[in-house]
Amino acid sequence: MKKQIPIIITFIAGMVMILQYFIPHRPFSDIQQLFNTWYVIIAVFAMILGLGNLLKIHAIRLQRRPKGWWYSIVLLLGFAVMFIAGMGWGIERGSLFDFLFWNTHLPMSSTMFALLAFFVASASYRAFRARTSEATLLLVSAILVMVGRVPLGNYIWDKLPLLGDWIMSYPNMAGQRAIMIGIALGVVSTSLRIILGIERTYLGGK
């Protein structure tokens, strides 16, 4: 009962989505629209679940006070300020919520990822070695693309941008297509296993 009904639900939902591709008329189109609407709403509650979990973890940290517990206060305060700003005064351009987005969320998010530039440079120097013929091929391809795809490449050799574009459009594209087809077949088989109830790990537990 605890697992049988969810498996039946998965089957029905999956089959409706597949059938409406081939029979895009009523009632399948109506059911599809209904399911689409329900999906969007239920997915929000999944987000709320994740949020609830985050707040729960940090609330527990405040109670237990392990090392560095005071940073949880920062997190919860930040959450509270942003949440109240949004729910209290709206999210339009020019609102407090919008101000906090542009001047706190945005710079921190951008800078977190900007750090990666330094680490990729460091990793390139320390770890990128042409140990095998395959690694050499990877390295040569990377260098040709890196130089060919910036304006500097044109000044080194005027054919370099064309070579870079050719590598991207043909051999790279061929490799990416092979990967894409492989992934697609994997997704198809996994989706089929899920819909038919063979794959049940997403249900978890007993």
Touching other proteins, residues 92-151 (CB under 8 A): 92-93, 97-118, 120-122, 124-126, 128-131, 134-135, 137-147, 149-151
Q: Provide the minimum distance between the beta carbon of 63 and other proteins in the complex, in angstroms, as a whole number.
A: 17
Q: Compare residues 65 and 190 and give the one whose CB is closer to other proteins.
A: 190
Within residues 19-48, the interface with other proteins by CB under 8 A covers 21, 29, 32-48
Within residues 48-77, the interface with other proteins by CB under 8 A covers 48-49, 51-56, 68, 71-72, 74-77
Q: Answer whether 160's CB lies under 8 Å from 154's CB.
A: yes
As a whole number of angstroms, the distance between CA 103 and CA 110 comes to: 11
Q: Provide the minimum distance between the beta carbon of 64 and other proteins in the complex, in angstroms, as a whole number.
A: 17
Q: How many CB atoms lie within 10 A of CB 18?
A: 14
DSSP letter string, 19-81? HHHH--STTHHHHHHHHHHHHHHHHHHHHHHHHHHHHHHHHHHHHH--TTTHHHHHHHHHHHH
Q: Provide the minimum distance between the beta carbon of 122 and other proteins in the complex, in angstroms, as a whole number.
A: 4
As a whole number of angstroms, the distance between CA 131 and CA 80 comes to: 52
Q: Is 194 one of the binding residues for other proteins (CB under 8 A)? A: yes
